[in-house]
A and B are shown apart, each in its own frame.
Chain A
Amino acid sequence: MIDLVLLGDVLAGTARLGTPIAFAALGGVIAERGGLYNIGLEGQILAGALGAAAGSFATGSAMIGLGCGIICGLISGLLLGYMSIRLRINQLVGGIALNLLLAGLTAFLSRQIFGAQAGGARVNGFSQINIPFLSDLPVVGPSLFSQDPLFYLLIGLAIAAWFWLMKSHKGLDLRAVGENPKAADLAGVPVFRMQYLAIAVSGALAALAGVQLVLSQVYVFAEGMSAGKGFIALAAIILGRWSPIGAICAALFFGFCDAVQFKLQFTSPEIPYQLFLILPYLASLVALVVLGAKASAPASVGLPYDREHR
Chain B
Amino acid sequence: MNRFTMQRRIAIALLSALSVGGVLILLDGHNPFEAYKVLFLESFLNYWGFSNTLVKASPMLLAGLAVIIPMRAGVFNIGGEGQIYIGGLFGAVFALAIPNLPGILGVPLIFIAAAAGGAFWAAIPAYLKAYRGTNEVIVTLLMNFIAIHIVSYAVAGPLLAEGAPYPYSEEVSDAYRLPILMPQSDTHAGFVFGLGMTIILYFWLRFTPSGFQLDLVGRNARAAAYAGVDQKKTIIRAMLIGGSLAGLAGAIEVIGLKYRLFHLFSDGYGYDGIVVAFLAALNPIVAPLTALFLAGLSAGAGTMQRAVGVDSSVIEVVEGLVVVFVAAALVTPRTTSISILKLLAKNLRLRRQTQRRKKEA
Question: Touch between A and B in complex, CB under 8 Å?
Answer: yes
A104 x B315 contact (CB < 8 A): yes
**A12 contacts the other chain (Cβ, under 8 Å)?**
no
B152 x A277 contact (CB < 8 A): yes
Task: Kindly identify which residue among A92, A112, A303 contacts B274, using a CB–CB cutoff of 8 Å.
Answer: A92
Q: Which residues of B contact A277 (CB under 8 A)?
A: 145, 149, 152
In the bound complex, what is the Cα–Cα distance between A282 and B328 (angstroms)?
Answer: 36
Interface mask (B127-140 → A, CB under 8 Å = 1, otherwise 0): 01000111101110
Q: Which residues of A contact B257 (CB under 8 A)?
A: none
**Residue of A93, A116, A294 with highest tally of chain B CB at under 10 A:** A93
List the one stretch of A17-25, A148-156, A161-169, A231-239 in contact with chain B: A231-239
Count A-B contacts at CB 8 Å. Answer: 153
Interface band, chain A: 35 or more
Task: Kindly identify which residue among B76, B149, B314, B328 contacts A274, using a CB–CB cutoff of 8 Å.
Answer: B149
Q: Which residues of A contact B316 (CB under 8 A)?
A: 100-101, 103-105, 107-108
Closest residue of chain A to B331 (Cβ to Cβ) is: A87
A83 x B320 contact (CB < 8 A): no
List A236-295 residues whose CB lies under 8 Å from chain B: 238, 272, 274-275, 277-278, 281-282, 284-285, 288-289, 292-294
CB within 8 Å for A108 and B317 given contacts A90-B338, A231-B145, A302-B338: yes
Question: Number of B residues contacting the other chain (C-beta, 8 Å)?
Answer: 51
Closest residue of chain B to A79 (Cβ to Cβ) is: B324
Interface mask (A71-99 → B, CB under 8 Å = 1, otherwise 0): 00000000000010001111011101111
Task: Kindly identify which residue among A89, A235, A278, A289 contacts B331, using a CB–CB cutoff of 8 Å.
Answer: A89
B145 x A302 contact (CB < 8 A): no
Q: Which residues of A contact B144 (CB under 8 A)?
A: 231
Q: Which residues of B contact A304 (CB under 8 A)?
A: 336, 338
A281 x B145 contact (CB < 8 A): yes
A278 x B319 contact (CB < 8 A): no
**A306 contacts the other chain (Cβ, under 8 Å)?**
yes
B141 x A234 contact (CB < 8 A): yes
A288 x B323 contact (CB < 8 A): no
B76 x A92 contact (CB < 8 A): yes
CB within 8 Å for A104 and B319 given contacts A83-B324, A92-B78: yes
In the bound complex, what is the Cα–Cα distance between A90 and B275 (angstroms)?
Answer: 12
A-B contact pairs, 28 of them (CB 8 A): A93-B278, A93-B327, A97-B320, A99-B320, A102-B320, A103-B313, A103-B320, A104-B313, A104-B316, A104-B317, A104-B319, A105-B317, A108-B28, A234-B141, A235-B142, A272-B153, A274-B153, A281-B145, A281-B146, A285-B139, A288-B138, A292-B134, A293-B134, A294-B133, A303-B338, A306-B335, A308-B334, A309-B336
Beyond A104-B319, A235-B141, A278-B145: 20 further Cβ-contacts under 8 Å?
A83-B324, A88-B331, A88-B336, A88-B340, A93-B327, A94-B324, A107-B316, A108-B313, A116-B311, A235-B142, A238-B142, A274-B149, A277-B145, A281-B142, A281-B149, A285-B139, A285-B142, A304-B336, A306-B336, A308-B334
